[in-house]
Amino acid sequence: MPNFGTRLRAAMEASGPLCVGIDPHPALLQAWGLENSPAGVRSFSLTVVEAMVGVAAILKPQVALYERFGSAGFAVLEETLSLAKSAGILTLADAKRGDIGSTMAAYATAWLDDASPLASDAVTLSPYLGYESLRPAIDLAAQTGRGVFVLGLTSNPEGPSVQHVGGEKSVAKSIIDQVTAENAGAEDMGHVGLVVGATIGDAPAKLGIDLSATKAPLLTPGLGAQGATARDIAAAFAGSYSQVLGTSSRDILKVGPSVNALRAKAAQVRDELLAAG
Ligand SMILES: O=C(O)c1cc(=O)[nH]c(=O)n1[C@@H]1O[C@H](COP(=O)(O)O)[C@@H](O)[C@H]1O
């Protein structure tokens, strides 16, 4: 299996630089005329997958919104991942896992092992138990042609209170430097991505971070519902824009349940991302 960065690049070239989040929030389910139940989440998720084939490079189910229904929710997530796979669209499980190495190995197996019912093309990871604690997932992803997206500079207002600590030697810079070292051998993008919010403004410059050197696919949540535009992303990611995977959930999902409306909205967001570069 080719490296995840290569697979993602091919998907971005075929469908555009867009990741659509599948976030079945109670309010969205209600707006779509669906029950806030596993059956409602199932209908929502399968509709999003159907709508996004060909317009999004990758789909990002938000695991928390399935997990709230326990095993019934996980069954729906498994079915959603499987449908996306058979439709030929990549998946990124937004699970934000992070634990000590031996437990991390079990999380890696859950999300990245070929034999797992939850196996996804990539998973989001939180590095705040130390970057090296993520090693089992980073290595298993490399072995299986999968990827990981490590939280770097997140989109939420609380993020800087941890990530910016240290100024020129910030926590975020230390994580991002380790991702850069990990991807050094990649020709284009490596298998270790970074989450860098669309809302971060000039934080990389202030913290002395060069995102283009990371060779990391850059997942940029914050587009749409959290206020950032494609132009904001192009300004914040000048120099690394070819690595950017713009990601949006509620701003696209709110136009459902019509498959045509969802597809049209995603195509509009994708085209704005393409034009802004
Ligand atoms: O890892 C993420 O995807 C993520 C990181 C981050 O810094 N900020 C962020 O909003 N997210 C996720 O991205 C999605 C954003 O949803 P919208 O604000 O509706 O587009 C949610 O599922 C968040 O959990």
Which domains does the chain carry?
Answer: 4-276 (3.20.20.70)
Indicate whether residue 163 lines ligand 1 (CB < 6 A): no
Cβ atoms within 10 A of the Cβ of 259, count? 13
pLDDT at 1: 83
Binding site membership of 249 for ligand 1 (Cβ less than 6 Å): yes
Position in ligand 1 atom list of the atom nearest CA 219: 3
CA of 115 to the centre of ligand 1 (A): 28
Which mutation among 158, 223, 249 tests ligand 1's pocket best, with the greatest number of atoms within 8 A of CB?
A: 249
Q: Are 4 and 146 in contact (CB under 8 A)?
A: yes
- Percentage of the chain exceeding pLDDT 70: 100
Phi/psi-derived region of residue 16, left when phi > 0, alpha when psi is between -120 and 50, beta in every other case: left
Distance CA 249, CA 243 (A): 19
pLDDT for residue 88: 97
Instruction: State which of 18, 154, 194, 233 you would mutate to test the pocket of ligand 1, scoring each by most atoms of that ligand within 8 A of its C-beta.
Output: 154
Is 173 noted as a catalytic residue in this protein? no
Give me the half-sphere count of Cα atoms (radius 13 Å) on the Cβ side of residue 132.
Answer: 0
Q: What is the pLDDT of residue 6?
A: 98
Residue 103 makes CB contacts below 8 A (sequence gap 6+) with: none
Rounded average pLDDT over 45-63: 98
Q: How far is the CA of 154 from the centre of ligand 1 (A)?
A: 9
| Residue 254 beta carbon below 6 angstroms from any ligand 1 atom | no
91 Cβ closer than 6 Å to some ligand 1 atom:
no
Q: What integer is the mean pLDDT of 9-13?
A: 98
Q: For ligand 1, is residue 199 a contact (CB within 6 Å)?
A: no
Average pLDDT over every residue of 95-104: 97
Is the separation of the CB atoms in 271 and 34 below 8 Å? Answer: no
| pLDDT above 90 (res 145) | yes
Mean pLDDT of 58-74: 98
- Establish whether this prediction's ipTM goes over 0.95: yes
| Mean local confidence (pLDDT), 182-205 | 96
Answer yes or no: is pLDDT of 223 > 90. Answer: yes
Q: Which of 212, 214, 236 is nearest to 223 (CA)?
A: 236
DSSP string, the chain: ---HHHHHHHHHHHH-SEEEEE---HHHHHHTT--SSHHHHHHHHHHHHHHHTTT-SEEEEBTHHHHTTHHHHHHHHHHHHHHHHHTT-EEEEEEEE---HHHHHHHHHHHH-TT-TT--SEEEE--TT-GGGGHHHHHHHHHHT-EEEEEEE-SSTTTHHHHTTTGGG-HHHHHHHHHHHHTTT-SS--SEEEEE-TT-TTHHHHTT--GGGG---EEETTBSTTSB-HHHHHHHTTTTGGGEEEEESHHHHTTTT-HHHHHHHHHHHHHHHHHH-
Is residue 152 in contact with ligand 1, taking CB distance under 6 Å? Answer: no
Q: What is the mean pLDDT of the chain?
A: 97
Ligand 1 geometric centre to CA of 92 (Å): 12
* Distance from C-alpha of 146 to C-alpha of 223, rounded to nearest angstrom: 25
